[in-house]
């Protein structure tokens, strides 16, 4: 087990879940979300922001946790 990799995975998961929570409860806190919606349009900007700030961190977190538990080093 590699605790650094697992820790980074947990941090990425926490960021992804926090981003999802804030997005659902108070989306006005995201300044970049408003800018992306203005530039890309309402639907596409929201989708890009959701993928980049919620789905990717959640996916990376899961992968890092499993990798860390298998003993794989990130650094």
Q: Write out pLDDT tens, residues 13-67.
A: 999 999 999 999 998 888 888 899 999 999 999 999 999 999 999 999 999 999 9
pLDDT band at 75 (very low <50, low <70, confident <90, very high): confident
pLDDT band at 74 (very low <50, low <70, confident <90, very high): confident
Backbone angles phi and psi of 23, in degrees to 5: -60, -40
Rg (CA), the chain: 15
Residue 66: per-residue pLDDT: 97
Contacts of 66 (CB under 8 A, 6+ apart): 9
């Amino acid at each position: 087990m590699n605790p650094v990799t697992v820790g980074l995975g947990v941090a990425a998961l926490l960021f992804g879940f926090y981003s999802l929570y804030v997005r659902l409860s108070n989306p006005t806190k995201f300044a970049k979300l408003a800018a992306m919606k203005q530039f890309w349009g309402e639907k596409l900007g929201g989708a890009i922001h959701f993928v980049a700030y919620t789905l990717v961190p959640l996916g990376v977190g899961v992968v890092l946790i499993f990798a860390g538990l298998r003993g794989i080093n990130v650094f």
